Structure 1
């Protein structure tokens, strides 16, 4: 048996590791997507389509009808009438909002593109016999391919670019070329996106006053100084996702969730995850649970020994929190006053497009890719997130930067987004296999300490937040916590996406949310029915959450000490700590 220095597993031969090396090299060219998974989806679709002559005739008929509609529009457009175009862009598609797209020849360009887009959407969906996953995969791949050929991506077919080029004598293209060279240099040198260096952690971001009171090999725990003379006895422990730096919840002072909570009279604790390297390849899900949430709860209980804790988890941190909450319920540990889940899934059967290609083939490919380094690199994750909204996050941004010659004004969320983290190979493989592929948590088959945990054991009240435009954790999937628990659930559907919908401070313009509590004994309500009945409120859901927490807290009392030195939790270093700045 041979065990390579790069992380080979017991029982693997040198030939097995040769396969791993090959797959790891291939993964760099395919953005981590298994070619076998792609070909399997394509073959499933093509074979069933080839064996469905009626379906092919229907698609041919649609193509002819669409061509006739396009021809009629072209004839009307030749007379100057471009009103009532036959094809409309999808909801939220802002690529063709410029008034110039209504004039010839650009109106024909965009209508031809939209016709082709809609035809391919019809062609890749609805073929009987194709698995649901393969249908979604083929549709996704077709959309990614078509997005490349949008008329807005080329200077000669984009009216806004042509107008700008004529007005500036081509200076916009010169600036765009400079932007492209700068971005390529940053990519090769592994530097963050242009403009993000304006913000510095501890100076502009993550500035709420506090102290690190505990540190182990995986986390630093930050305790924040209260902003009120008296505080609620129940502290708030926040568990962010380890895929992100914690300070998305402590951005600038005006949009810091931490600062908001301390201003409402809560003692707040925050987990700051270590950015793992190759040496951490063997850290698993149980390490994140024990050294993360469990260790943090022990420290919080030392500071506030007579109080239960309001625990809050964001994204993957919320999933891990739900696991540990179920484990505590199973073992009779009454440590929590409530559980809040922010854009966090507990059932992964409808986990969104991010996990479209997760099957055995893709998992083996990802495991081999991570085997070479010991972790999933930040560029792999960033690329996957961008592909979910390629028209906005890739192509429209490229047009803005390289054709119009514009740069976005730096802002705090952009700087945070450029400050990525890695994920240990073992933990990420376990997470994908046990949760996304096998969906063990929702089925009562996820084992902790050798015994399964069940979400139905949870009895503390739950506050769950989903966001309307979340491509990572679709709100209908987040809503499933109502189906999986036998406790009071207050669900909130907030405007915005996975990040901007959570960073929704009071006073932020155009923010709204729907909120409706559901008691443990209430009949189950489907998510669409819930959304139809839940009243809509203008403003920030933060205010509603603070009211909800206060209603489940004791009367305000004296401020706690910073840390608990006599219990082994002395203040170590001022916030934001050291782990958050690790590269």
Structure 2
């Protein structure tokens, strides 16, 4: 047994060393790092430390607090050694293994870490005389640091990993280092942690399988019309504009959670704009292109296909930001083709846009611009994925680091995480304009954003709008979405707050019977006031939205066949653009 363990430990070490050597060679062929501190963390931490140094009384009190916490911990540990019952298992997923509570050594290690991490994060948060965004940057990266140093992330201090190594005579570690090597190879020298068993999914075969036809294709998008699931459909069609940061099939993962299939089953004629995965030839495409050649062209093609003179639209995430600007542009031009619009997790007011604001200071924008130049004028899909992963490091980085490498497990076949890793590129002109104009200057809400030759004003929009926000959304925070809804002050606005986060809050079919949602017909000054007057309902918000949408979708007409419209079908859904990898 000992001999087998020794052989496997040596094999694991050699596998890791070889992988790191190969990664070093791959990195050597890449351009040098643009900056040693691309996120501008140094100045933020320097501001915090300077503030603390100016208040020695506060620093002394913090040190005394840490000392007292350690004394309490040692007293608790002494009682444990004397026979006191172990504490209840932690609700923190990192420490779910019973040994973290039952074994005094691991218990004191866990609690020492939690005390220190909480103290460090609290110390940074206690600073008062620092610019709020600078302080938030320091808080964010301090949290990243303390998350990284959790004892659960190291083999020697993770009881579950040690147990697996002992039970398998080291084979778990061999497998883990093989996973590590495979992820380094997949990332071409950069560690690209697998979050799902990507080989288990094929777009168009077991994800994105709702039946339909591509009825239009140009250089920017494919227009997909989905098959009817009822004998009659509402006259006014529904056109969905998903974010171009990801692919549309988040709304069509599996038959049981497909919003597209569900909408069809409710009698709506559903179209989706499937954006192209842009390459360097599209580096100059900007909001004007996505407005004129995207929203307006898709709108016109849907009307041609259905014979209607108006339609309802959905804008999801950044697709909703563009859709909001388009509505304001249409208001200026007197364009009344859009009958109503629904926004999923969409922001138009970016004043309180959450932690993504930390990635939009001018220092980082200059860095990312250079990165896009080096990539031929597009933002690589992996860059955006890395940013989103950093926002939830424990869930999207460290949990897989432990499972894949320390435990030697294979990632599960999880459709949502397969989609999450299927990122798209973004044109430089569009992305930089988005970051600078929206996150940086908040121009859209201020009435200073120019698109399609017009300076647009959201207050000019008067059509019915339905806003969906999610209570735990970290990308489009609920307060940010609420501020966005208030920005359309002359529109007929309905807002619903869903349970869960940015994805699960949106994709929550009624059949799942999960979470809850809140409704309030009024739109008072603040979200807190809205919540105080809101009524909670169990389960999905989809039926509430469908009722609202039915009332704005016209009469019932005979079901439409995508194969029999004026536009000739080009290929079955989900089309070709969605299958292009970054």
CA distance in 1, matches of 2:386, 2:436: 21
CA distance in 2, matches of 1:79, 1:407: 41
Match for residue 529 of structure 1?
529
Q: 2:516 aligns with which of 512, 516, 525?
A: 512
CA distance in 2, matches of 1:153, 1:112: 15
2:475 aligned with 1:476, yes or no? no
Give deviations 1:166-189, integer Å, cap 9, x for gaps: 333333223222222222222228
Match for residue 559 of structure 1?
559
CA contact under 8 A between 1:172 and 1:404: conserved in structure 2? yes
CA distance in 2, matches of 1:140, 1:408: 27
Matches within 5 A, 1:249-288: 249-288=251-290
Match for residue 98 of structure 1?
97
CA contact under 8 A between 2:239 and 2:312: conserved in structure 1? yes
Match for residue 500 of structure 1?
504
2:114 aligned with 1:114, yes or no? yes
CA distance in 2, matches of 1:181, 1:254: 36
Q: Give the TM-score taking structure 1 as reference length.
A: 0.89
CA distance in 2, matches of 1:581, 1:416: 11
CA distance in 2, matches of 1:34, 1:180: 26
2:579 aligned with 1:575, yes or no? no
Q: Provide closer, same or farther for how the CA distance between residues 532 and 76 of structure 1 changes in structure 2, counting only shifts above 3 A.
A: farther
Measured after TM superposition, the shift of residue 350 of structure 1 is: 1.3
CA distance in 2, matches of 1:433, 1:24: 26
Matches within 5 A, 1:313-392: 313-373=315-375, 374-392=377-395
Q: Give the TM-score taking structure 2 as reference length.
A: 0.89
CA distance in 1, matches of 2:556, 2:193: 43
Report how many residues are paired: 547
Match for residue 139 of structure 2?
139
CA contact under 8 A between 2:329 and 2:452: conserved in structure 1? no
Q: Provide closer, same or farther for how the CA distance between residues 289 and 192 of structure 1 changes in structure 2, counting only shifts above 3 A.
A: farther
CA contact under 8 A between 1:245 and 1:421: conserved in structure 2? yes
CA distance in 2, matches of 1:427, 1:162: 48
CA contact under 8 A between 2:193 and 2:401: conserved in structure 1? no
CA contact under 8 A between 2:519 and 2:535: conserved in structure 1? yes
Match for residue 42 of structure 1?
45
Deviates more, 1:219-228 or 1:49-58: 49-58
Match for residue 460 of structure 1?
463
Match for residue 215 of structure 1?
217
Q: 1:26 aligns with which of 27, 33, 47?
A: 33
SS in 2 for 1:290: helix
Structure 1 outlier segments of 4+, above 4 Å? 82-85, 189-194, 563-566
Measured after TM superposition, the shift of residue 83 of structure 1 is: 5.5
CA contact under 8 A between 1:24 and 1:370: conserved in structure 2? no
Give deviations 1:522-555, integer Å, cap 9, x for gaps: 5x24213323432222222222211221122222
CA distance in 2, matches of 1:531, 1:121: 29
Q: CA RMSD of the aligned region, Å?
A: 2.3
Q: 2:79 aligns with which of 76, 99, 106?
A: 76
CA contact under 8 A between 1:25 and 1:369: conserved in structure 2? no
Match for residue 440 of structure 1?
443
CA contact under 8 A between 1:316 and 1:344: conserved in structure 2? yes
CA distance in 2, matches of 1:573, 1:362: 42
